[in-house]
Amino acid sequence: MKVLILGSGGREHALAWKIRKSQHVDWVGCAPGNGGTTSVAESVDLDISSPEAVVKYVQDNEIGLTVVGPEAPLANGVVDAFPDDQTHLVFGPSAAASRLESSKRWSKEVMASAGVPTAGWRGFTNPYDAIAYVSSRNTACVVKASGLAAGKGVYVCDNADEAAQAVTSIMIDRDHGAAGDEIIVEERLEGTEASLLAVCDGIDHVVLVPARDHKRIGEGDTGPNTGGMGAIAPNPEMTDELVKLCSDTIIAPILTELKADGTPYKGVLYAGIMLTDDGPKVLEYNVRFGDPETQVILPLLNVDLVDLMLLSASEKLGGFLKQIGLESHDWRRIHSAQHCATVVLASQGYPGSYEKGKQISGLPNESENLVVFHAGTKLVDGGVATNGGRVLNVTGLGDSQESALLRAYSAADEIQFEGKIMRRDIGG
Ligand code: AMP
Ligand code: GLY
């Protein structure tokens, strides 16, 4: 079978790397891919923002399975454009179901109907109403652009002044464009974070190893939010009881709710969770694999990823789980007992503006316990150069979290490019 992956980041490199190992697969393409995906996939020149162009490519080239990496093509309806047949399957949710991520307001409304635990919130379309509201409350809160803002539309605020500034940046200065036409202001939750991803077929789901990512740019979780600066799996805070609780109260009710609404959810559902003193609460849903969580989840997965994707796309996951007696929360049965850690090497200036085109040296060879997933890189004259904010995901495996981190950090220290930055406290 031929598999096409849409996207160009570290997540897509990890997907291509894993999918390449599948017994079903004899060709992998990545559109557009990056400097690292070329080692496991053919780079495909395709406008992934055009659903019609994607479907034409898939039909012309007999692609059996298409895997959508980023949220934008999903929100754009790429899945909806696929023919309803069993020969061109696509892994991912419809545009309607993707609103779980592309409209934070809608997502909050669905959570309320489904009874999912989450932070209290209010929605605003007028900046002055929002400023009056945050000023009158004068407490710590979180201000979020409702639309898609590449993980950068969230402002965690200590007080009313910071919140008013966030409202101004989003709604008046329009720092995130139309994504900020509407905002939500949330109660600020305290606790530790967890990312729980589940493969879903519209009704049933199976969770993947719980992960933790580190979203802020600075050590000690300081500075602005980024797409993610590193991750570990398993997340040591996520006991088996907590994973079951999250599977039952955070994943399952959303699937039931969306199915009843006529927008069944297929693909990966990613719950960003805060483990609070009052139990786990949802920070957000994403409608795709996490980046960089995928880079620590897939190396631990010990079943064929393409099998899971085909079961999801063809709505047969539930039957399969029943057949092998696997419960939705029992991730341990489908992963190795190892630990995995990834450290993001980023360009100086990220998540603001940064320079590109810096020569990269010191890239290690892949081994059993080390793999470097490329994100913002490109091939130049036989070498590799930086081509984005997040450049590389240096990923270590080990029998403990410490040994996985040690492997990742020692390789990260050997890799050089001008302006390289990284957090030293991933997993801490
Ligand atoms: P989101 O993109 O909504 O997950 O938000 C990005 C990050 O902002 C999360 O990973 C948290 O670190 C933080 N965050 C979002 N919502 C809240 C909240 N209600 N309380 C505390 N922190 C939050
Ligand atoms: N790591 C956060 C995200 O993928 O949205």
Nearest CA to ligand 1 atom 18: 188
Nearest CA to ligand 2 atom 4: 290
Q: What is the 3-state secondary structure (H, E, C) of 96-116?
A: HHHHHHHCHHHHHHHHHHHCC
Pick the CATH number of 126-181 from 1.10.150, 3.30.1490, 1.10.10, 3.30.110: 3.30.1490
Class of domain 192-334: alpha beta
CA of residue 253 to ligand 1 center, whole Å: 21
Q: What is the pTM of this model?
A: 0.96
Cα(354)–Cα(347) distance, integer angstroms? 6
Q: Residue 227 has what pLDDT? A: 87
Q: Determine how many CB atoms are found less than 10 A away from the CB of residue 255.
A: 23
Contact indicator for 102, 144 with CB cutoff of 8 Å? no
Pick the CATH number of 2-92 from 3.40.50.20, 2.40.10.10, 3.90.245.10, 1.20.1090.10: 3.40.50.20
Walk along the chain (428 residues) in steps of 10 and give the mean pLDDT of each run: 98 98 97 97 97 98 98 97 94 98 97 98 96 94 93 90 96 95 97 97 98 94 90 98 98 98 97 98 98 98 97 94 96 98 98 96 97 97 94 98 98 98 96
Q: Is 70 in the pocket of ligand 2 (CB under 6 A)?
A: no
**Shared fold status for 2-92 and 192-334:** no
Pick the CATH number of 339-421 from 3.40.640.10, 3.90.15.10, 3.90.600.10, 3.40.50.2300: 3.90.600.10
| Nearest ligand by distance to the CA of 286 | 2
Cα(234)–Cα(194) distance, integer angstroms? 10
- DSSP code string of 277-306: TTEEEEEEEESS--TTHHHHHTTTB-S-HH
Domain boundaries, the chain: 2-92, 126-181, 192-334, 339-421
| Nearest ligand by distance to the CA of 9 | 2
CA of residue 72 to ligand 2 center, whole Å: 13
Q: Residue 225 has what pLDDT? A: 85
Q: Is 272 in the pocket of ligand 1 (CB under 6 A)?
A: yes
Q: Residue 224 has what pLDDT? A: 85
